[in-house]
Amino acid sequence: MRKIVVEGGKTLRGQIEVSGAKNSVLPLMAATLLTDGLSVIEDVPWLADVDVMSAVLNSLGSSCDYICGCLHINSSGIKKTEAPSALVQKMRASFLVMGPLLARYGHARMSLPGGCAIGARPIDLHLKGLEALGAEISIADGYIEATVNRMHGNQIYLDFPSVGATENLMMAAALAEGHTVIGNAAEEPEIVDLSNMLCAMGANIKGAGTNIIRIEGVKNLNPARHTVIPDRIEAGSFMVMAAATGGELIITNVITEHIKSVIAKLKEAGVKVEEGYDGVHVIGNKHLIPVDVKTLPYPGFPTDLQAQFMALLTLAGGVSVITETVFENRFRHAEELKKMSADIKTAGHSAVINGIKRLHGASVEATDLRAGAAMIIASLAAEGQTKISHIHHIERGYENICGKLAAVGAKIQIIEE
């Protein structure tokens, strides 16, 4: 089994560059199904999830090539509208091809995306919205099939500002006949990034980034060239690493507007953060102040940085409380942190963290992508050696993380054990 091994106690110092956003590039790739011709997506990180989405598109008949950080995708040759089960099961974001396939070909079939380590992750909001746009949906034997003659616009209200549902419905409505309004839409930067690419393809979308998105359907779309926004979650993860090791990092390729809640929370914890035009300068200190964190849909504190902050707060000088309001089971990293001497109690949506002086290296597991980042943070700050297993979770969302961290002083490598 491949493991990440970290010798803790090293202070991180230097400059680190953030890659393109995983949670933006995946919907952008799905959007290329809406048109023939060659689209080019730039600043694409080399990640396992990008590989899986490429495989999904190629299985449908697209040609998807990754060349020097850019994806060249041509969906002129779509031969089928059923995504392979193994890939959908492997990565939930594969479900984002449902909206585009329905809008362009009137049919889509795939296995129901499973839940994962952080929750059941149902798709009811996606389905209710697609039905509102005219799709007929049937679910049987673990498969979901949707058919429609021509999508028509409608008023949709999301019970929860679901990122994936907003993306799927925006893509479907882009080619629907007439007007669509998505109420209580997700406001994440990745929604704005997708809207920008769809508009570059000829879509008529207004309001992305607010909770009301208005879409005027068009007859067809054209290929486009688009640059992915920087990964705000990777940026936040590196900021926490600087804080946890009492180090000093210049983190470049960051849109600070996208991480205002994270910067505010780090400053509250006693971490020095200076914002530049293209990045942030983070200066950690050994005396972290305990803070309370409540995860919320954007622009609130991102659930994808909750695990990383929990790792940080295990070292604060007092008691912190984390409330996870977005997912129902996103505290599995607490058990792994406790193996490193952390003092954490979880109950339902809350975790109480009693800060301690030192974490101690141990053998731990990455239980999901962001929990894996949390284990790297804890191991960098801990005394002694830590071995992290199940690192395929980490490689889904962090490009060359060991290389990036070794370059700023971490003693970190991947071994085969």
User: CB-wise, 91 or 288, nearer to ligand EPZ?
Assistant: 91
* 221: its two tokens: 């779309």
Task: Output 147 or 329, the one with its CB closest to ligand EPZ.
Answer: 329
**Residue 327 found at the interface with ligand EPZ (CB under 6 A):** yes
Q: Which is nearer to ligand EPZ, 329 or 400 (CB)?
A: 329
Task: Give whichever of 23 and 256 is closer to ligand EPZ, judged by the CB atom.
Answer: 23
The pair phi, psi for residue 320, each rounded to 5°, is: -120, 150
121 touches ligand EPZ (CB under 6 A)? yes
Query: Cα-flanking dihedrals φ and ψ of residue 358, to 5°?
Result: -140, 140
How far, in Å, CA of 259 to CA of 254, rounded?
A: 9
Nearer to ligand EPZ, 29 or 103 (CB): 29
The CA distance from 252 to 20, in Å, is 12
Site map 77..116 versus ligand EPZ, x via CB under 6 A: ---------------xx-----------------------
- CA dihedral of residues 269, 274, 280, 286 (deg, nearest 10): -40
* Active-site residue, 116 included: yes
Q: Is 119 in the site for ligand EPZ (CB under 6 A)?
A: yes
Question: Which residue, 93 or 198, is less far from ligand EPZ as judged by CB?
Answer: 93
Which among 287, 246, 248, 289 has a CA at the least distance from the CA of 266?
289
- 4 or 398: CB nearest ligand EPZ: 398
Nearest distance, CB of residue 68 and ligand EPZ, angstroms: 24
Q: Does 304 bind ligand EPZ (CB under 6 A)?
A: yes
Sheet with 385-389, edge to edge strand ranges: 363-365, 385-389, 2-7, 411-416
d(CA 384, CA 362) in angstroms, rounded, equals 8
Q: Which stretch binds ligand EPZ (CB under 6 A): 2-10, 120-128, 193-201, 277-285?
A: 120-128
| Residue owning tokens 């694409």 | 44
Whole-angstrom distance between the N-terminal and C-terminal Cα of the chain? 5
Does residue 122 interact with ligand EPZ by CB under 6 A?
yes
User: What is the three-class DSSP state of 15?
Assistant: strand
Q: Which of 80, 160, 285, 415 is in the footprint of ligand EPZ by CB under 6 A?
A: 160
Per rule CB under 6 A, is residue 163 in the interface with ligand EPZ? yes
Size of the site for ligand EPZ (CB under 6 A): 23
DSSP code of 256? G
372 is a site residue for ligand EPZ (CB under 6 A): no
Amino acid identity of residue 158, one-letter, is L
Query: Token match 């009137």: residue?
Result: 106
The packing angle between helices 306-313 and 232-244, to 10°, is 0
Of 68, 70, 116, 402, the active-site residue reads 116
165 binds ligand EPZ (CB under 6 A): yes
When the beta carbons of 119 and 317 are compared against ligand EPZ, the nearer one is: 119
Q: How many residues belong to the chain?
A: 417
Choices 6-14, 159-167, 312-320, 334-342; region in contact with ligand EPZ by CB under 6 A: 159-167
Residues 370, 390, 393, 404: which binds ligand EPZ (CB under 6 A)? 370
User: Does residue 397 bind ligand EPZ (CB under 6 A)?
Assistant: yes
Nearest CA among 71, 15, 13, 64 for reference residue 42: 71
Window of 62-70, 160-168, 191-199, 345-353 that interacts with ligand EPZ by CB under 6 A: 160-168
**Integer Cα distance of 286 and 246 in angstroms:** 5
Q: Check residue 229 for interaction with ligand EPZ (CB under 6 A).
A: no
In contact, 146 and 174? CB cutoff 8 Å = no
13, 86, 114, 124: which one binds ligand EPZ (CB under 6 A): 124
395 near ligand EPZ, rule: CB under 6 A: no
Name 344's bridge partners: 353
Which residues face 177 on adjacent strands? 152
List of residues contacting ligand EPZ (CB under 6 A): 23, 26, 92-93, 119, 121-126, 160, 162-165, 303-304, 326-327, 369-370, 397
Which residue numbers are catalytic? 116
